[in-house]
Amino acid sequence: MNYIKTTIPDVWILEPKVFEDARGYFMETYRAEDFDKAVGYPVHFIQDNQSMSTKGVLRGLHYQKGDASQAKLVRVLSGSVVDVAVDLRKDSPTYGKYVAVELSAENKRQLFIPRGFAHGFQVTSDTAVFTYKVDNRYAPEAECSIIYNDPQIGIEWPITEEGEILLSEKDLNHAVSFEAAEKF
């Protein structure tokens, strides 16, 4: 596995070594000992989640506050997305900045998002199957959302035309501005 630093310390791109031949391919997607060594501390993932979405779907920017915060290791099994992590750590030199990475079945990349970040993604293919590991249980009482197009963050989403972006009712009507969001 190749661990690639991003412009925000603690957010990592993981590129697997892929072994291909006439039969297809094989790759290792996660090994706890190597992962913990690369990111610099132990991360104990407790659950895997998966979603399927169609082109233009934008999920996010989500996070859980306080002790319910989650670290995530995300990847795409089919299709492609642009995945985004926003730094909500008040004392961080990259506070309010974001990393955007294309994740696809083709490039087989993963993104590690530590606790203290909001997370979202937008589907750029006809459909995408998205999967991720988390290190903490889902706590609906701690769930928060920042509006995807907050001007203070300034995320450059790949699909921006009104009517082409598909949001949940919650992400459309209950997300708050970056300024109003609870930080870490």
**Taking the model in full, what pTM does it have?**
0.96
Residue keyed to tokens 């190749």: 2
pLDDT digits (tens, 9 = 90+) for 156-174: 999 998 889 999 999 999 9
pLDDT digits (tens, 9 = 90+) for 14-34: 999 999 999 999 999 999 999
Domain locations in the chain? Answer: 45-173
Q: Class assignment of domain 45-173? A: mainly beta
* Separation of alpha carbons 41 and 81, rounded Å: 28
- 113, 85 in Cβ contact below 8 A? yes
Known catalytic residues are 62, 132
Q: Which two tokens stand for residue 94?
A: 């990259």
Q: Look over the chain and give the mean of its residue pLDDT values, rounded to a whole number.
A: 97
Confidence of residue 117 (pLDDT cuts 50, 70, 90): very high
Task: Please give the pLDDT value at position 162.
Answer: 83
Name the phi and psi angles at 173, rounded to 5: -110, -10
